[in-house]
Amino acid sequence: MQLDGPLAPIFRHGIDRWEAREVERQTLSPVNQHLDRLQTSIDRSEPDAGLRNTYINAISELRKSFLSMECGRGQAYEVTDIFVWVFQVGDDFVPLLRVPTQSAVTILAFFCVLLNGLKSQWWLNGWADHLMAKSYALLDREHRLWIQWPMEEIGYIP
């Protein structure tokens, strides 16, 4: 990629955001505790190793997006910081939302917390609630318990 043309600042900014997301960070964040719990639940309940790996990868990438959001406290985080998750997991994960599987919908509910944090983006207003409502409607009783934290975070009441 050529980084010296007229679009160089845009490409450089994108690369910088991507690289910052990939930095290993240790955090005792409550978000990590909830994601750990979700990962453990999926580990225990998903018998298919391929699906389990897809879900674990989606959670791992989601964790990076949450860390980007947390490390940016006090300064605006960008849409790129959040939607890179969809790009990273799209090929394997998004088809599972079309089925939909209970675990995929549960993971999507956690993504709603990130969407909700982008209140400055007028075009995203209401999407976190909309996706959470759809997720809640698709989930069985057991998996609805798994999304208690994201529901509380965005203030969703069924």
pTM given for the model: 0.85
Alpha helix ranges (H) inside 1-124? 8-21, 30-45, 49-71, 79-98, 102-116
Contact of 77 with 69, CB cutoff 8 Å: yes
Q: pLDDT tens, 30-78?
A: 888 999 999 999 999 999 999 999 999 999 999 988 887 765 544 556 7
Q: Which pLDDT score, from 0 to 100, does residue 109 have?
A: 98
Residue 85 tokens read as 């998750």
